Amino acid sequence: MALRQAGWYVIGVEPDRERAEAAVEAGAIDEIGRPRECDLAVIATPVNDVAESARAALDAGAAVVTDVGSVKGPIAAEVTDPRFVGGHPMAGSEQDGLAGASPDLFSGATWVLCPNPSTDDAAFAEVREVVAGMGAHVIAIPPDRHDTLVAVVSHVPHLTAATLMRLADGRAEEHRA
């Protein structure tokens, strides 16, 4: 939705016909298509499928390819084409798919771009411009550094919650009659 709001014509590639039609009806995409030549392909699949989907888009003639997966290192190792720029928008909600989509989802959010050593400067600049055009703040870090930072950040709340539960459990024992 954010790409369309930024003025892009969006072709969605989705094997589930009902899901694809729902995306058209919701205004997330303009039409249902298949991989083909395009200015930019954005891969939004489960992380385990990103590399294969990115290679398919590149083989189909995409000028530049990026993804929105939460893991970057393994994907960067598998997709070394200069036209690929790994990406991770640090935005979203507890809802998946169309239920969590909105035109302003990325406005004010941080979007991490993770170029690998072979990434073309022009490809990186293109993705940076598109992402900024959706209102996101772009930062660039190497793929492996991204994964380390995301792992730390995502584990801190769990560790904090576990520590608080242990503390609460200990205090509850002190106050039992």
CATH number, residue 44: 3.40.50.720
Global confidence as pTM? 0.86
In a domain, 175, yes or no: no
pLDDT for the residue 156: 82
Domain range for 54 is 2-143
pLDDT for the residue 168: 87
In a domain, 40, yes or no: yes
Instruction: Report how far apart, in Å, the C-alpha atoms of 44 and of each of 14, 74, 117, 152 are.
Output: 10, 16, 23, 23
Q: How deeply is 6 buried, as exposed, middle or buried, from its count of CB atoms within 10 A (0-12, 13-18, 19+)? A: middle
pLDDT for the residue 177: 55
177 residues of the chain, pLDDT tens digit each: 999 999 999 999 999 999 999 999 999 999 999 878 899 999 999 999 999 999 999 999 999 999 999 999 999 999 999 999 999 999 987 777 888 888 999 999 999 999 999 999 999 999 999 999 999 999 999 999 999 999 888 878 778 888 889 888 877 766 665
In a domain, 156, yes or no: no
Query: Nearest Cα to 106, choosing from 138, 141, 136?
Result: 136
Count CA atoms within 13 Å of residue 98 on its CB side.
Answer: 14
- Give the strand pairing for 62-67 and 84-90: parallel
pLDDT for the residue 19: 93
pLDDT for the residue 166: 87
Domains identified in the chain, total number: 1
